[in-house]
């Protein structure tokens, strides 16, 4: 009977785990809906802001902003890695960290020094064990994404680029594709990239601007960079909730299969125990 008690205890434990995974899946699904709406609303604004910066920078070449001007030689690259603070999200964080390691290895292969800005506790814990001397800044426990978070990160990145501490800034983040798919990617955000090859920017400025172009760029370029970082944070937030929802749904299915297997094992053990007791009773009766 000890075996039966152990199996029954395991079934009870798995059922409690199932309740937790179901609750976490429902919470993640509710958060995903809001996060998905936020990231889908931010994408058109971010894309239009990037195009506007290219148009203004091309039309007002004499009034270039420091963040638009590439450094003569790239010696130090800063890699910004964005992950979540919490786990239980399947391979969401590990995929981003693997991609970040490939980006870092590529920069080092080119002979560039690498410094790291880490957003999210998972990235901080990962690189603190592997590259503690290369960490320039960390951000953990930010919670719900707000514009203030993007503004603070952007301000420090821009200050290091303008002072010459770094010559290039690369952002590594998991892009939200769908609730079932998140794609790690990297993008250069400083210096502000030029139009892609084959894409001709407008030859004439499509509008007149006040105040002067230099003042306009001084306001627009940092704001445009904020929008890029904000979008990346929103993409990461939506991807985290989607990955956690999928992971908890898979875990719930696994618990259902495990409960079924343990129940079958329990019934077989109970039947074997009953059969054994009957055999003992019949054997004892025959002996008498």
Do 59 and 146 fall within a single domain?
yes
Compute CA distances 93 → 20, 121, 238, 253, whole Å: 21, 10, 13, 22
Dist CA 262 CA 15 (whole Å) = 11
Residue 202 and residue 237 share a domain: yes
Check whether residue 203 and residue 188 sit in a common domain: yes
Beta bridge partners of 79: 116, 170
Closest CA to 46 of 147, 169, 117: 147
Verify that 165 and 220 share a domain, yes or no. yes
pLDDT in tens, the chain (288 residues): 558 889 899 999 999 999 999 999 999 999 999 999 999 999 898 888 877 776 766 665 545 678 888 888 899 999 999 999 998 998 999 999 999 999 999 999 999 999 999 999 999 999 999 999 999 999 998 888 999 999 999 999 999 999 999 999 999 999 999 888 999 999 998 887 765 554 555 555 555 666 666 777 778 888 888 999 999 999 999 999 999 999 999 999 999 999 999 999 999 988 888 888 888 888 877 776
Distance, in Å, from the CA atom of 8 to the CA atom of 11, rounded to the nearest integer, reads: 5
168 shares a domain with 77: yes
User: Among 246, 261, 279, where does a domain finish?
Assistant: 246
The rounded distance, in Å, linking the Cα atoms of 239 and 235 is 6
Residues 151 and 252 in one domain: no
Same domain, 35 and 170: yes
| 281 and 171 share one domain | no
Q: What is the dihedral of CA 141, 143, 147, 151, to 10 degrees?
A: 0
Task: State the residue range of the domain holding 164.
Answer: 24-246
Asked whether residue 106 falls in the same domain as residue 217, the answer is yes
For residues 257 and 173, membership in a common domain is answered with no
- Check whether residue 267 and residue 165 sit in a common domain: no
Beta strands at 113-119 and 168-178: parallel, antiparallel or unpaired: unpaired
Number of domains the chain contains: 2
- Give the CATH number, domain containing residue 167: 3.40.1380.10
Q: How far apart are CA 80 and CA 186, in angstroms?
A: 9
pLDDT of 194-241, one tens digit each?
655 545 555 555 556 666 667 777 788 888 889 999 999 999 999 999
Residue 288 has what pLDDT?
A: 67
State residue 196's pLDDT score: 56
Per-residue pLDDT at 33: 92
- Which token pair is 44? 């058109």
| Residues 16, 109 within the same domain | no
CATH number, domain of 7, equals 1.10.287.80
**CA angle at 105 for the pair 103 and 111, rounded to the nearest 5°:** 110
């Amino acid at each position: 009977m000890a075996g039966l008690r152990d199996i029954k205890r395991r079934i009870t434990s798995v059922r409690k785990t199932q309740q937790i995974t179901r609750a976490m899946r429902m919470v993640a699904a509710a958060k995903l809906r809001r996060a998905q709406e936020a990231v889908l609303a931010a994408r058109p604004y971010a894309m239009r802001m990037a195009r506007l910066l290219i148009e203004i920078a091309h039309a007002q070449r004499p009034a270039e902003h420091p963040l638009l001007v590439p450094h003569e030689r790239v010696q130090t690259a800063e890699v910004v890695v964005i992950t979540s603070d919490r786990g239980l999200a399947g391979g969401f964080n590990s995929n981003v960290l693997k991609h970040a390691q490939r980006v870092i290895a590529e920069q080092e292969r080119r002979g560039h020094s690498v410094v790291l800005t880490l957003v999210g506790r998972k990235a901080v814990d990962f690189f603190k064990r592997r590259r503690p001397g290369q960490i320039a800044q960390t951000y953990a426990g930010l919670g719900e994404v707000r514009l203030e978070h993007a503004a603070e990160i952007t301000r420090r990145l821009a200050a290091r680029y303008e002072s010459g501490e770094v010559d290039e800034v690369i952002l590594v983040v998991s892009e939200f594709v769908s609730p079932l798919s998140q794609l790690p990617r990297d993008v250069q955000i400083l210096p502000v990239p030029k139009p892609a090859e084959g894409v001709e920017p407008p030859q004439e400025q499509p509008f007149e601007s006040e105040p002067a172009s230099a003042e306009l760029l001084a306001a627009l370029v940092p704001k445009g960079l904020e929008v890029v970082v904000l979008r990346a944070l929103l993409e990461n937030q939506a991807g985290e909730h989607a990955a956690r929802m999928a992971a908890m749904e898979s875990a719930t299915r696994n618990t259902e299969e495990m409960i079924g297997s343990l129940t079958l094992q329990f019934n077989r053990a109970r039947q074997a125990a009953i059969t054994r007791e009957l055999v003992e009773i019949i054997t004892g009766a025959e002996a008498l």
